[in-house]
Amino acid sequence: MLVLEAKLKGKIEQYSLIDEAIRTALFCRNKALRYWMDHHGTDKYALNKHMPSLAKEFEFANKLNSQARQASAERAWSGISKFLDNCKKKVSGKKGFPKFKKRGHSVEYKITGWKLSGDRKYLTLTDGFKIGRLKLIGSRDLNFYQIEQIKRIRLVRRADGYYAQFCVDVERREEVKPTQTTIGLDVGLNHFYTDSKGQVVENPRYLRKSESQLKKLQRQVSKRKKGSANRRKAIKRLAKKHLQVSRQRKDFAVKTARCVVRSNDLIAYEDLQIRSMVKNHKLAKSISDASWSMFRQWVEYFGKVFGKVTIAVLPHYTSQNCSSCGKQVVKTLSQRTHCCGHCGTVLDRDHNAALNILAKGLNRVGHTQIHACGEFDLCQVDVSLLGKLSR
């Protein structure tokens, strides 16, 4: 599934109607959750069947397209299914019981309730809200795809305007020449990552760099009177700054992941439990600012696009064990140099961890041994796996 995004240009009245549709979709989602809580044993299809009765009971809910109401019920079921899966797996701690939401930011249509113009530059919404015709502004050309390939359209409200996301049913594949190289990645806070070749990528720290501006904008919000127009303007400026930081993170993660995947045939990285790591309040902000989870998601995505092998390995003892002899060398977090008293290897701590991560990854695809410098011997790996395995 490919998601293409374009900004929507319309009148203020149309934006108000989009907001009303978003609120209605959120109402349907919360009602579906309440129905599940009140009726034991309710499944996904029962929630979809509940939506027509909701439209009969509430006139404003009837304005929303019927399939958009179903999409809202599916959103509720998405949170419910995650909770049920965690209960079955007996996940420790909180199971993620679904909660009611106060604010919504999007409404989703399926194959009805909308239509595109002949030149694919205008989107018309045809449900009961009568939003009308909106102009699409963006660099992606929808003429490359058939209307039947567009399975869903999502209207999204952000701090800087309204956007339309087109979910296109197409499989993205790109052919690249094999590089016959492998790499292990050790992510960190001092550097964004250190690879098994000893190269490092600096951590951009976008949130830290914008922290003073965010604090200033937050003070401006606090000084304004609640409910005033000036307070709403200050809130919008603050939201735009947060949106800029999030976009910077995403842009960095996408470009870095694409470069890593294109340059190597096999990428090994740590299977970190980020949700547990951010419970450390001294490091939570720095870990979130590094956006390791987003980077991993894009590495796995580009691995499927380019047909490369991406392997997540357990991070246990990757920093403590020696990459040359395998002996354990206990180190504290403040010790940044790996000095092995058994074989005399002296390496940067993160470089040593990256070599151990690569060794674990290669062992999972049939590799029998690895050189200390991280060089790749193609004869020792089942080459057919390079085009088939991807996680």
Judge whether 270 counts as a catalytic residue: yes
Q: Which residues contact 118 (CB under 8 A, 6 or more apart)?
A: none
Residue of 103, 20, 114 whose CA lies nearest to 60 = 20
Q: Which of 108, 127, 186, 195 does the annotation list as catalytic?
A: 186
| Nearest 10 degrees: Cα torsion 124, 129, 130, 134 | -40
Q: Tokens standing for 110?
A: 């399926």
Structure tokens at 82: 């995650």
What residue type is assigned to position 204 of the chain? P
**The two three-digit tokens of residue 347, written as one number:** 């390496």
Q: Active site includes 175?
A: no
Distance, in Å, from the CA atom of 114 to the CA atom of 124, rounded to the nearest integer, reads: 6
Calpha distance 155→15 (Å, rounded): 11
Angle CA 151–155–156, to nearest 5? 130
Among the listed residues 265, 270, 289, 300, the single catalytic one is: 270
Cα angle at 259 between 253 and 264, to 5 degrees?
Answer: 125
- 85 catalytically annotated: no
The helix-helix angle for 44-57 and 12-38 (nearest 10°) equals 120
CB atoms within 10 A of CB 218: 14
What is the set of active-site residues?
186, 270, 350
